[in-house]
């Protein structure tokens, strides 16, 4: 009989591993030691927070600094680190360090999480991923600690604690903060906002791209198509999003209006980066204009780079679909990116991931409205997109939703985190070669 054990298949290992760590995190979050009060967190609060941390989302149903104890905050930090690094990659790295060798199953797990890291020793790749992550967090943490200590008069211990927490949250794109208003109080502080934003960008661009840029930084002509799409797509989306935020919110008295010109630029850039992945905010998102919310929904849905700590359908998927549309409009027989023809299998994979994302967001929005009729459509769409894309931004309605609606967001966070990995891996491993083809038919389109 064929062995159908889920751990034998990478596409099944990813969801199973994340479920396991979420279950463990939920149990720990329910301990009385994790909360500031005398009792442990209720199940819905615990599972929501555990899922949000492991899936590096940042959505919350309680106020993080007042509801959770120091142990609870440390638990959030650890779960965010594990989620950002990828439970599969972490398990493979630990196996490498202990046994000094990798078995076939661990190789498949690592390849599923770090798609695009072609060739090379898997153990070496995992170690480089760990080094990039921890060195980046150390740099961000050092800058934040010095700023908290020297400018805001925090004690050295408190400055270090705050810095480590937010450095982990930024590079892992998790979005949890130890301030009730997120980073609103730091809206004009370049030494806080810029390192955090750059940390989010670094974590969201993807490890395959970071490694290739390190090798080919001075020779852009040698970049792979994937790196080109990710880098220039990130530059394009960050520039366009920041400009749109700036234009739409420039005179809004509840967001950018009262700020100086330089601070407006910083806030617009920061918020665009966070909208695509990070989850922090320096302005009141609930007071943004409707057109800005629409832009935010688009940016969240697109997300960051492949094999990164970001969510969404990914920048490469979005741009590949744009090239497919452009080729179809021009009547080209092939989809070409910089003198490279894109395989039909890759095009179908991009269409599948994007359409499944649209379906999930649509279904989640409908479910939220049905479960709580008080929620306006635009607010429901924003929360659902934020959950699916594991962004973590909120217009302020998440904590007021009924438990059933909060569980819908839990499901979306989980699917959004593991879905693209699982679907992409399953499609890649399930490519079939038929020895025959059916007669061609052309149904009318449009």
Distance of alpha carbon 59 from alpha carbon 51, whole angstroms: 9
Residues 246-271: tens digit of each pLDDT: 999 999 999 999 999 999 999 999 99
pLDDT tens readout for residues 155-175 = 999 999 999 999 999 999 888
Q: Indicate if the pLDDT at residue 76 is higher than 80.
A: yes
CA distance 317 to 303: 10
Q: Where are the beta strands (DSSP E) in 246-404?
A: 336-337, 340-341
Pseudo-torsion of CA 309, 50, 297, 262, nearest 10°? -70
How does pLDDT run across 190-243, given as a tens digit for each residue? 999 999 999 999 888 887 788 888 887 778 777 888 888 999 999 999 999 999
- DSSP class of residue 336? E
Task: Note the pLDDT of residue 207.
Answer: 78
- pTM, entire model: 0.87
Cβ contacts of 245 within 8 Å, gap of 6 or more: 256, 268, 271, 272, 275, 292, 295
Ordered by start, the domain boundaries in the chain are 6-428
Q: Which residues contact 57 (CB under 8 A, 6 or more apart)?
A: 51, 174, 175, 279, 311, 386, 387, 390, 391, 392, 413, 416, 417
3-class SS of residue 340: strand
Taking CA atoms, 293 is separated from 95, 377, 379, 402, in Å, by: 44, 12, 9, 23
As a whole-number percent, the residues of the chain with pLDDT over 70 amount to 85
Q: Does residue 116 register a pLDDT over 60?
A: no
| Pairwise pLDDT comparison (433 vs 286), residue with the higher score | 286
Q: 24-40: per-residue pLDDT in tens?
A: 999 999 999 999 988 88
Confidence (pLDDT) at 111:
46
Vertex 230 angle, CA 227 and 236, to 5°: 135
Identify whether the C-beta of residue 207 lies closer than 8 Å to the C-beta of residue 129. yes
Give the mean pLDDT of the chain: 84
């Amino acid at each position: 009989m064929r062995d159908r054990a889920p751990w034998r298949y990478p596409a099944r290992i990813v969801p199973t591993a994340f479920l396991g760590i979420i279950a463990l995190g939920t149990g720990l979050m329910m301990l009385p030691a994790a909360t500031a009060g005398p009792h442990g967190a209720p199940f819905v609060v615990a599972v929501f927070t555990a899922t949000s941390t492991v899936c590096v989302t940042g959505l919350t149903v309680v106020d993080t600094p007042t509801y959770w104890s120091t142990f609870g905050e440390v638990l959030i930090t650890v779960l965010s680190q594990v989620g950002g690094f990828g439970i599969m990659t972490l398990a493979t790295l630990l196996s490498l360090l202990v046994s000094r060798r990798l078995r076939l199953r661990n190789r498949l797990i690592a390849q599923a999480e770090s798609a695009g890291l072609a060739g090379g020793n898997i153990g070496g790749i995992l170690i480089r991923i760990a080094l990039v992550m921890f060195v980046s967090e150390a740099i961000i943490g050092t800058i934040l600690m010095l700023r908290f200590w020297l400018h805001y008069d925090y004690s050295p211990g408190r400055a270090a604690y705050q810095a480590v927490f937010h450095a982990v949250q930024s590079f892992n794109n998790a979005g949890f903060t130890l301030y009730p208003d997120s980073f609103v109080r730091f809206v004009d502080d370049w030494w806080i906002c810029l390192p955090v934003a750059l940390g989010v960008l670094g974590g969201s661009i993807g490890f395959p791209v970071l490694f290739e840029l390190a090798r080919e930084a001075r020779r852009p002509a040698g970049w792979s198509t994937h790196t080109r799409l990710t880098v220039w797509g990130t530059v394009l989306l960050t520039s366009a999003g920041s400009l749109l935020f700036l234009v739409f919110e420039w005179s809004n008295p509840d967001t950018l209006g009262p700020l100086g010109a330089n601070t407006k630029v910083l806030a617009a850039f920061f918020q665009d980066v966070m909208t695509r992945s990070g989850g922090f905010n320096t302005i009141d998102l609930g007071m943004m204009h409707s057109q800005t919310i629409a832009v935010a929904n688009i940016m969240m849905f697109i997300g960051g780079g492949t094999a990164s700590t970001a969510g969404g359908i990914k920048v490469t998927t979005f741009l590949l679909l744009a090239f497919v549309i452009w080729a179809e409009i021009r009547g080209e027989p092939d989809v070409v990116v910089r003198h490279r023809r894109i395989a039909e299998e890759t095009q179908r994979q991009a269409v599948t991931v994007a359409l499944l994302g649209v379906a999930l967001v649509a279904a989640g929005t409908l479910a939220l409205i049905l479960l709580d009729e008080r929620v306006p459509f635009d607010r429901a769409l924003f929360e659902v997109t934020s959950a699916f894309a594991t962004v973590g931004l909120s217009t302020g309605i998440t904590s007021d939703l009924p438990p059933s609606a909060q569980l819908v967001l839990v499901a979306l966070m989980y699917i959004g985190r593991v879905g693209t990995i699982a679907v992409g891996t399953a499609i890649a491993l399930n490519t079939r070669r038929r020895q025959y083809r059916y007669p061609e038919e052309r149904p009318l389109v449009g």
